[in-house]
């Protein structure tokens, strides 16, 4: 069974950095598109960044504005999200999600059949 486990969240000051990790078990990453989503209290879940099964990546949220970088290491079955210049509005629970195949990235939530439990990111002074 495919499972995802996020880690790396925490409390940082505005302008700080965090690197999130998503370890995928049960399968190898080669055939899966992986995306990061986040959800703040009282708000709907939104796509943050995505990396396709072929390695192409894209920001899914305009608010990221190039501050985040997604990468994958198929040999380690791990996807990373490097977050820099963090802002208070980046606060939320960050989830990684997997989609089988996916030649191009998508922020369409129902398209992802597998989800992790999330890791909390808090940006506060």
Give the model confidence (pLDDT) of 12-25 as tens digits: 999 999 999 999 99
Q: What is the mean pLDDT of the chain?
A: 94
Q: Which residue has the tokens 């305009």?
A: 62
Q: Residue 29 — pLDDT band, cuts 50, 70, 90?
A: confident
pLDDT at 37 over 80: yes
pLDDT at 91: 98
Rounded CA-CA distance 104/1 in Å is 24
What is the H or E stretch that residue 97 is in? strand 92-100
pLDDT at 60: 92
- Note whether 45 and 109 are within 8 A (CB): yes
Q: Using one digit for the tens of pLDDT, what is the confidence trace for 56-105?
A: 898 999 999 899 999 999 899 999 999 999 999 999 999 999 999 877 88
Q: What is the SS3 assignment for 11?
A: strand
Residue range 5-11: mean pLDDT, rounded: 98
Question: Buried (b) or exposed (e) across 63-73, using 16+ Cβ within 10 A?
Answer: ebeeebbbebe
- Note whether 24 and 79 are within 8 A (CB): yes
- Note whether 66 and 82 are within 8 A (CB): no
């Amino acid at each position: 069974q495919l499972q995802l486990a996020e880690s790396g969240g925490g409390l940082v000051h505005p302008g700080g950095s965090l690197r999130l990790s998503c370890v995928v078990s049960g399968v190898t990453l080669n055939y899966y598109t992986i995306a990061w989503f986040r959800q703040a209290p009282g708000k709907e879940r939104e796509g943050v960044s995505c990396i396709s099964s072929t390695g192409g990546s894209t920001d899914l949220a305009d608010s990221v504005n190039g501050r985040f970088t997604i990468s994958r290491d198929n040999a380690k079955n791990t996807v990373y999200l490097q977050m820099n210049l963090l802002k208070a509005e980046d606060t939320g629970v960050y989830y990684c999600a997997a989609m089988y195949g996916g030649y191009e990235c998508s922020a369409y939530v129902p398209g992802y059949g597998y989800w992790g439990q999330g890791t909390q990111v808090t940006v506060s002074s």
